[in-house]
Amino acid sequence: MWDSPPNLSVLDGVNPLAARTMMPVFNNLVMIDQHAKQSRLDAIVPDLATAWTWNEDGTEVAFRLRHDVKWHDGRPFTAADVKCTWDLILDTAPEKLRVNTFKSWYKNLA
């Protein structure tokens, strides 16, 4: 690391050093298979989600979460944890990100 990031939040959009440093520490619901062509839907593979399904009109997705995941303190990973992250990104949580660069990415998300 050539510099000291201001924090270790991967959601802090003005902090690319932390994002590069901490991304290997955090999991995602799904990820892109690094060995597949990324322009294909089947390149999306499970990580914290084991499966996902879309409703008929493609406006809702439901994720089935892994049950064997625990936080560093031993508490289980739950849907409430996923909701907490989305609430931060969508700026609907009581806590706020310093700079929320992701909010505009999801402006069409209800």
Is 88 inside a domain boundary? yes
**Can you give the pLDDT at residue 99?**
81
Q: Considering the entire predicted model, what is its pTM?
A: 0.79
- What is the pLDDT at residue 1? 60
Q: How many independent structural domains does the chain possess?
A: 1
CA atoms of 17 and 90, how far apart (whole Å): 22
In-domain check, residue 37: yes
CATH number at residue 90: 3.90.76.10
What pLDDT tens digit does each residue of the chain (110 aa) get? 667 777 777 787 767 777 777 878 889 999 999 898 878 888 999 999 999 999 999 899 999 999 999 999 999 999 999 999 999 989 999 998 888 888 888 888 87
User: What phi and psi values does residue 5 have, to the nearest 5 degrees?
Assistant: -70, 155
Q: Which of 102, 99, 80, 77 is nearest to 89 (CA)?
A: 102
Residue 2 located in a structural domain: no
Question: What's the confidence (pLDDT) of residue 20?
Answer: 75
Cβ proximity of 5 and 15 under 8 Å: yes
Domain assignment of residue 102, given as a range: 16-106
Q: Count of alpha carbons within 13 Å of 97, Cβ hemisphere only?
A: 22
